[in-house]
């Protein structure tokens, strides 16, 4: 299958301060993103997500290694008309209104004049900025700027969309609308690469994720590969258990939380569920719900980060 | 064409900038003030008004070039607006060249407004307004090609304040470089001679652009001098803009 993004041993050092002090922002990054894929790039603050993205869009040159985008070097100017980019907390010319700005973007991306107006209207509607088209962006809120950012990234109908924390500053409705936009782009055959530290967003829409920590890619793969599809725990809610019975069940499960008239029980295996059911039948207790829980990305993320931190010590 | 987009946006940015409008209004006020001190200049009223007018046009347009030009590229880096320009299919040099001509367009407009105001004042005061004065304005405009190029060069690697100070310094030194060469020629030391020669060619030579005295006193100027001075402005600024492009091309954001 065609690769849209390939990085080989990508390394970036920043030199700061008066002394020759270097910060290695990313180290030997080997990433592959396939065509028509939604790829989530995950990592905590300072992990190197923005640095990687800056290399991919040609704002920064790698110290070592290389980054290929759409089959060419990431600094190649010709591929830029096929890439849509949204930087982290984007900022635009404050003296322009969104329509003037999108017009400039369309012009720079080489969209024919006749086509410009149609694209602009479509995108203003898509990101719901209709009410603000005449307002200079000086007065825009963070979420409104983010919407302009999404519109400018899509104005030239790019094949690959690279977004740095696209959900930043968006309200819950905005996040949902954004997820729909991304899924629609995938349907149209586009490839989407975006960074985030909000795991719920990734779980809902990503085909694959990459986890970056301290500049190193520590895990990539399909979500179900990373998380495993098997069920980790069962959560039972039961009514009609008295104190004595709760004590008995505590011998089977190490997580029993009684509240007013219900008890929450967490067990690891189906066999344990069976044993509790038997006890319940004896005393005439009632099962209100039984929910199998898979490992969440959050669990995985936190355990990976802890593993890395332990290695450091 | 893409570069036109950058030029027009730079133009739009500058004319929506308060600094720009303030400077133009101030320049016109200074020109009008020529009328106030006119009675002090016995029999030389016309020359004083013309002198003040031409000097205001030169000074205030230079101020615009340095204050607005010095911030042009820096502001784009600082506010990261440029991320979304240079990640589009446009070469980095096109961005710099676009900024340069955008600012020249702004300066052309400023000079146009100030010159119109100047001629209006002359007509109102019943002073003969010969077209000869326009030659001086023309050279002022080409001097701005050089100043703007220098301002943009500094703007690619230094803060606006440092850039403005150095551009101003070069502007003043630029009017003395001819004397520098004369001074070097008089010196007996070979080292001083070579040094002054190098500085003469490296530093901008702006004295030739100043023909205000000549036009005010109706001294005729050889057309070759005008043509050569304009050619000098074009070549010198092309080299500086080229250097700015190289610095900008290598930059990491
Ligand atoms: N211009 C720079 N100069 C010096 N160091 C930098 C620069 N940009 C980034 N860094 C360093 O590189 C590392 C990675 O930063 P980066 O911005 O890529 O992280 P991130 O994953 O995007 O974080 P966040 O989630 O906070 O946006 C950090 O340690 C940061 O301090
Ligand atoms: Mg970041």
pLDDT in tens, B218-247: 888 888 999 999 999 999 999 999 999 999
Question: Considering its fold, how many domains does chain B have in total?
Answer: 1
Q: Which domain holds residue B233?
A: 2-175+210-250
Task: Confirm if B139 and B226 have CB atoms less than 8 A apart.
Answer: yes
Q: Is residue B198 part of a domain?
A: no
A13 close to ligand 1 (CB < 6 Angstrom):
no
A22 close to ligand 1 (CB < 6 Angstrom):
no
Q: Locate A144 and state its tokens.
A: 């409104």
Judged by DSSP in three states, A62 sits in coil
Tell me: the pLDDT tens digits for B46-74? 888 888 899 999 999 999 999 888 888 88
B6 CB neighbours in chain A (<8 A) are 108
How far CA A234 is from CA of A82, A159, A240, A288, B67, in Å, comes to 47, 43, 19, 13, 68
Chain A residue with Cα closest to B8:
A104
How far CA A194 is from CA of A26, A128, A179, in Å, comes to 17, 21, 12
What percentage of chain A reaches a pLDDT higher than 90?
Answer: 50
What percentage of chain B reaches a pLDDT higher than 70?
Answer: 96
B18 CB neighbours in chain A (<8 A) are none
Q: Is residue B8 part of a domain?
A: yes
The residue nearest atom 16 of ligand 1, judged by CA position, is A48
Average pLDDT, chain A: 88
Sign of CA dihedral A196, A200, A201, A202: positive
Q: Locate B252 and state its tokens.
A: 């990491």
Confidence of residue A229 (pLDDT cuts 50, 70, 90): low
**Rounded distance from Cα A142 to ligand 1 centre (Å):** 21
Task: Confirm if A100 and A134 have CB atoms less than 8 A apart.
Answer: no
Does the structure show a pLDDT above 70 at B5?
A: yes
**Rounded distance from Cα B97 to ligand 1 centre (Å):** 31
d(CA A177, CA A100): 24
Q: Locate A236 and state its tokens.
A: 């039972």
Residue contact A85–B85, C-beta within 8 A: no
pLDDT in the model for residue B42: 62
d(CA A76, CA A60): 12
Q: For B108-215, list the strands marked E by DSSP.
A: none
Residue contact A108–B88, C-beta within 8 A: yes
Q: Does B172 touch chain A (CB under 8 A)?
A: no
- The residue written with tokens 């506010």 in the block is B79
Q: Is residue B184 part of a domain?
A: no
A46 close to ligand 1 (CB < 6 Angstrom):
yes
A68 close to ligand 1 (CB < 6 Angstrom):
no
pLDDT in the model for residue B104: 95
The residue nearest atom 6 of ligand 1, judged by CA position, is A14
Of the candidate ranges A183-187, A190-194, A229-233, B118-122, the one whose mean pLDDT is the lowest: A229-233
Does the structure show a pLDDT above 90 at B127?
A: no
B72 CB neighbours in chain A (<8 A) are none
**Rounded distance from Cα A162 to ligand 2 centre (Å):** 13
Q: Does B18 touch chain A (CB under 8 A)?
A: no
Residue contact B13–A95, C-beta within 8 A: yes
A-B Cβ pairs (cutoff 8 Å, strict): 66
The secondary structure of A71-115 as a DSSP string is: TEETT-SGGGGGEEEE-SS----TTS-HHHHHHHHHHHTT--HHH
d(CA A85, CA B208): 48
Tell me: the pLDDT tens digits for A12-49? 999 877 677 888 999 999 999 999 999 999 988 889 99
How far CA B188 is from CA of A117, B183, B185, B192, B196, in Å, comes to 70, 10, 8, 8, 12
For chain A, list the domains and their CATH numbers: 3-225 (3.40.50.300), 231-294 (3.30.70.980)
The residue nearest atom 31 of ligand 1, judged by CA position, is A46
Which ipTM value was assigned to this complex?
0.84
DSSP B90: -
Q: Is residue B194 part of a domain?
A: no
């Amino acid at each position: 299958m065609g690769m849209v993004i390939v990085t080989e041993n990508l390394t970036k050092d920043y030199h700061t301060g008066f002394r020759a002090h270097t910060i290695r922002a990313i180290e030997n990054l080997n990433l592959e993103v396939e065509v028509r894929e939604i790829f989530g790039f995950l990592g905590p603050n300072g992990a190197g997500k923005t640095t990687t993205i800056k290399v991919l869009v040609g704002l920064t040159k790698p110290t070592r290694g290389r980054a290929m985008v759409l089959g060419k070097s990431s600094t190649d100017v010709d591929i830029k008309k096929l890439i849509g980019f949204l930087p982290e907390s984007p900022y635009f010319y404050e003296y322009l209104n969104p329509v003037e700005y999108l017009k400039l973007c369309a012009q720079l991306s080489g969209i024919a004049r006749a086509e410009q107006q149609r694209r602009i209207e479509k995108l203003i509607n898509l990101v719901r900025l209709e009410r603000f088209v005449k307002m200079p962006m000086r007065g825009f809120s963070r979420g409104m700027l983010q919407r302009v950012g999404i519109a400018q990234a899509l104005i030239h109908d790019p094949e690959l969309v690279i977004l740095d924390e696209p959900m930043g500053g968006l309200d819950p409705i905005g996040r949902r609308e954004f997820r729909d936009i991304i899924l629609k782009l995938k349907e149209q055959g586009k490839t989407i690469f975006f960074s985030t530290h909000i795991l719920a967003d990734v779980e809902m829409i990503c085909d694959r994720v990459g986890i970056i920590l301290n500049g190193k890619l520590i895990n990539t793969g399909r979500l179900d590969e990373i998380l495993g599809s098997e069920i980790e725990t069962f959560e039972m809610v039961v009514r009609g258990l008295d104190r004595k019975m709760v004590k008995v069940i505590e011998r089977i499960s190490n997580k029993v939380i009684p509240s007013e008239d219900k008890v929450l029980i967490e067990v690891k295996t189906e066999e344990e569920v069976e044993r509790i059911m038997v006890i319940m039948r004896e005393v005439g207790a009632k099962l209100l719900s039984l929910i199998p829980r898979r490992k969440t990305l959050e669990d995985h993320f936190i355990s990976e980060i802890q593993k890395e931190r332990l290695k450091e010590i | 064409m893409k570069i036109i987009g950058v030029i027009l946006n730079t133009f739009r940015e500058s004319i929506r900038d308060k600094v720009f409008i303030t400077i133009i209004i101030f320049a016109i006020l200074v020109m009008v003030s020529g009328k106030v001190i006119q009675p002090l200049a016995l029999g030389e009223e016309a020359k004083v008004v013309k002198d003040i007018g031409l000097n205001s046009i030169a000074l205030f347009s230079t101020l615009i070039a340095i204050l607005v030009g010095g911030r042009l590229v820096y502001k784009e880096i600082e506010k990261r607006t440029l991320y979304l320009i240079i990640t589009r299919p446009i070469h980095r040099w096109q961005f710099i060249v676009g900024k340069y001509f955008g600012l020249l367009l702004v300066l052309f407009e400023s000079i146009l407004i100030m010159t119109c105001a100047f001629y209006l004042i002359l007509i109102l005061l019943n002073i003969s307004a010969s077209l000869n004065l326009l030659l001086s304005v023309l050279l002022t405009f080409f001097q701005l090609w050089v100043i703007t190029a220098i301002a943009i060069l500094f703007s690619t690697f230094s803060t606006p304040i440092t850039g403005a100070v150095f551009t101003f310094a070069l502007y003043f030194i630029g009017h003395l470089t001819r004397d520098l060469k004369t001074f070097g020629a008089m010196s007996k030391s070979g080292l001083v001679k070579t040094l002054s020669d190098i500085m003469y060619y490296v530093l901008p030579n702006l004295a030739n652009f100043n023909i205000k005295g000549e036009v005010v006193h109706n001294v005729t100027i050889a057309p070759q001098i005008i043509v050569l001075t304009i050619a000098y402005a074009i070549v010198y600024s092309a080299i500086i803009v080229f250097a700015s492009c190289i610095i900008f091309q290598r930059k990491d954001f």
